[in-house]
Structures are given as structure tokens and as C-alpha cells.
Structure 1
Amino acid sequence: MFTHPGFDPVAISLGPLAIRWYGLMYLLGFAAGWYLGRRRTRQAWRGWTAVQLDDLVTWAILGVVLGGRLGYVLFYQPQIIWTDPLEIFAVWHGGMSFHGGLLGVVTACWMFARKNGKSLLEVGDFVAPLIPPGLFFGRLGNFINAELWGRVTDGPWGVVFPQAGPQPRHPSQLYEAGLEGLALFIILWVYSVKPRMQGRVGGMFLLGYGTFRFIVEFAREPDAHLGYIAFGWLTMGQILCLPMLLLGAWLVFRPGGESS
């Protein structure tokens, strides 16, 4: 059993400028995605240029931030729309939804695809392996901030999060960093080293993330204001993973199509 060290939420302080750990993790995630994307643009068979990547990253950053915040409000805190609408824009108070961020990125990829004469599936296949590093750093940020902790456990790896009471809990943020970040990255990077039918790499991302997130939700404490949504055990996170699993399975296992 361990006690969470209670990190200072501010990672770097330069006079009046304060860089928080969570913001720094987002920055590292985008930087890692950009670097890995640059490596992929050097492979001529992918049909991507460095300029296109830079343009796409700009679109994706907007998609992640706007989609993540709006998704959190709509999926987890819809009441603030009419009780405190200005809170929607208060991203510094925390509250970002992966599923909302994913929808934001998909929208950004669709707009980029139309502008550059590519298909949405082609763009999704290129982007998919670049996302897990961001998930890895994001979940580390959750752990550093001592938020989104897990359910109570008697395992020796349990962590006491002071804000959650004296009982040790699953460090579910680290589970997600390992599965949705590291493991999913390895799977997608290896799977995409050679041409695949359009949509299969993106589908593998949806299938892999949906599976890992659905599993980890059994160790993660449900949101206090939502609890279990169905059957006494199904959480909002698991419900939002179901369409990802269905769409991912269809993209991966459907027959025919072009390679990307």
C-alpha cells in the first residue's frame, strides 16, 4: 500500500506564469504525436508530407480541446449548461472527456480530409498510432493530480488518495496509461508498419481502446454524480465504449476496400 505523494499541481513556475502538470502532459502528448507523425511522413508509400502533418496537428489540437471539454459537459455534467453556462469554458477547472475529444478529432480529421482530397478513413489510419502517447501522458497527469482514482482494493499495490478517504484504491490512472497508452501504441505501430485496407488501422484503435477502457472501468471509481448507469455495474465510460467497439470491429473485419 502506498500513499499518493500529493504533487504540486504546478509543474513549472516562472514569475506570474504557472505551467500545470496537466497542461504539460497535453503538450508532451502533442509533441510525441507530431514527432511520430514526422517519422511516418518519411515513408513515401503513406502519401503524406510534413506540411500536411503540421496542418493536421493544428486541427487536431483544436478538436481535442474543444471536443474534450464539450464532451465532458454533455456526457458527465449537462446541468451546468443551464445552471452555470460560463463554466463550460473553464477548462482550467478540469473536466475533459476522452470520448468527446475523440469526436472532436474525428471532426477535425473530416475537415482536413475534405480540404486535402483524402478520405476520412485514410486520415484516421495515419492518425490512429499517434494518439496513444497522448493518452499515456494524459493518464499520468490524472495520477499526478490525484484525480479519477480507482475503486477500493486490498491489493498490495493500492494507493491512498487523501481526497478519496483513508482506504487504498486501484491506481486506475496507471492501468489506463499502461493499456491505452503503451500497449495500444505498440499494437498500432506494429500493425501499421505495412499497408492495410483503409479503415483497419483506425478500426484497430477503436477496438483496442474500447476493449482496454471497458476493462479498466471495472477498477475505476464511477463518477460520484452518475454512479452506475445500467444493470448495477455498467458505467458511463463503458456505455460510451460500446459504439467504439462495434464500429472498430466492423472496420477491422469487413471485406474488400483499398489499402492505405
Structure 2
Amino acid sequence: MLVHPQIDPVAISIGPVSIHWYGLMYLIGFVLFIVLGRYRIKHSQNSVFTQEMLDDALFYGMLGVIIGGRLGHVLFYQPGYYLEHPLGIFAVWEGGMSFHGGLLGVFMAMVLVARKYHLAWLQVMDFIAPLVPLGLGAGRVGNFINAELWGRTTDVPWGMVFPYIDELPRHPSQLYQFALEGIALFILLWIYSSKPRPIGAVSGMFMLGYGVFRSFSEFFREPEDGFMGISTLGITMGQWLSIPMILVGIALLVWANNQKADLKKQKTKTKKNQK
């Protein structure tokens, strides 16, 4: 049995100013976004992205992640609490961000990027999708440091006691999510996007991959309250929110590959007519 190290959530304090580990994890995620994005721009032969576009995607994406993630947490998971403590909505440094809310925020933010540079929205999403998972993984490390979003009780040898919660061994579900949503999803998308794909395919793989990984990890994570209560039909809030992602991901992959097949047929037909 392991015991959570009870790391101080404040990484650095300088007078009245405190820098929290949770905030640093988000900063690491944004830095990784830029580093990986520059690599893709430099090494991709078919990328329409430029450095200026990447910088704008980061700026608008940061706003989408923070605003959407926070509002998603407030609305999906703890609407009652924040109705009684409205000022707590702004205490982002204390943790409490919803991925699904942040994803919706990023969707809206990338609409602005696509319009500014006259690109298709899915072109933008296909480019940024592989840049996102490592940032998600960093966020899960922040959850672990904060000892939040802990797992269900277990008797596995690596079960961890979170003293702030109780004395029961629990799954370190934050680390499971770090491994799946962060590392595994990054590897999957990076390899998949390394070859030319029809528009929408990389976005579809992201939606499908995250939805499956998140749904699986929810079996080990202590369910949270939400509009639908702790669970409905044995399905947690996180799984309910991931089901549409899985369906949309499958639909995007089918649509993208059908578009590719139709385009190939059209080219073949054109060549025959030219003979």
C-alpha cells in the first residue's frame, strides 16, 4: 500500500504571490503545444500552418481551455456548490477544470483561428489535435499533486491512501489518466498524423481515442456529482460526456475516409475522360 506524498500545492511563494503546481502544469502544457507545433510546421510537407497561426492558436486556445474548462466544471459537476459560492468560480488555481468544457471552449476558439486565416475548421483541428495530449497529461499530474479526482477503493498492491480523504487505499486514477489520456493518446495521434490523412481524420481519431481512454479510466475513478447525479444506468458523468465524443470520432473517421475514396474515384474518372 502506498501513501500520497501530500505535496504542497504551492510550488513557489514570493511574498504575497503564490505560484501553484496546478498552474505550472498548464504552463508546461502550453509550452509543449508550441514546441510540438513548431516541429510539425518544420517537418510536415503538407502543413498549411505558419508560426503566426500557431501563436494565434495558442492564444485563443488558452482562453478556450481556461474559460470553457472552468465553466464546464461548474455546470457539469458542481452547479449547486458554485451557486452558493459564486466567487469560487474564479479560483482556478485551486483546481477544478472540466476537459469536456475545455474542449468545447477550444472548438469555439479554433473557429476564430479558421476564420482569421481562411481555413476550414477541421484543417485547424487536425493540426492541433496531436499537440494536445501531453498538455492533458500535465494537467493530470496537477490533479495528482493536488490530491483531487482520486480513485475508487481497491485492494491492488499499488493502492494509494489519500490522507486528506480517508485511510482507504484507492486507485491513483490521476496517474492512470496521465498514462492513457496523456502518453498513450499522444503516441497514437503522433504516429497516425505522421502520414497524410484526409481532412477530419486526425480530429476523428482524437475524439475516438480520448473518449475510449477516458471512459475506461472512469471505472477506476471515484464518480463525481453532476446534473445526472453520481451515475445514471451505472454510467458516470465523465462517461456520459465521452460517449458523444466516441460517436462523433467514429463518424468523422468514416466521413473523412469516404471523402478520400470519392476524391480518388473522381481523379480516376477525370484521367479516363482525358484519354
What TM-score results when the alignment is normalised by the length of structure 2? 0.90
Partner of 2:10: 10
SS of the equivalent of 2:79 reads coil
Q: In 1, distance between residues paired with 2:225 and 2:202?
A: 35
Q: How does 1:1-260 map to 2 (within 5 A)?
A: 1-42=1-42, 43-80=44-81, 82-223=83-224, 227-231=229-233, 233-254=234-255, 255-257=257-259
Distance 1:10 1:172 in 2: 22
Q: Percent identity?
A: 57
Matched residue type, 2:259 = G
Larger Rg: 2
RMSD: 1.6
Report which stretch shifted further, 146-155 or 250-259: 250-259
CA contact (8 A) 1:158 1:170 kept: yes
Note the C-alpha offset of 1:60: 0.3
Aligned partners of 1:224, 1:256: CA distance in 2, in Å? 40
Q: For residues 54 and 72 of structure 2, what CA distance do their matches in structure 1 show?
A: 25
Letter in 2 for 1:248: G
When structure 1 is superposed on structure 2, of 247-256 and 161-170 the one drifting more is: 247-256
Determine the C-alpha separation between the residues in 1 that align with 2:221 and 2:201. Answer: 29
Unaligned ranges ≥5, structure 2 = 264-275
Q: Please list the CA deviations of residues 11-63 of structure 1 after superposition, one character each: whole Å capped at 9, or x if unmatched.
A: 12233322110000000011001100011111241111111101110000000
Whole-angstrom CA distance in 2 between matches of 1:68 and 1:94 = 10
Higher deviation after alignment, 182-191 or 88-97: 88-97
2:161–2:168 Cα contact (<8 Å) kept: yes
Q: Which amino acid aligns with 1:7?
A: I
Cα displacement (A) at 1:84: 3.3
Contact map agreement 1:37 1:53 (CA 8 A) in 2? yes
- Could you tell me which amino acid in structure 1 is paired with residue 12 of structure 2? I
1:230 CA drift (Å): 1.1
Give the Cα separation in 1 of the matches to 2:162 and 2:246.
32
Q: Deviations over 1:81-129 (max 9, x none)?
A: 6433333223233211000000000100111101110111111100100
Offset of 1:228 from its aligned partner? Answer: 3.0
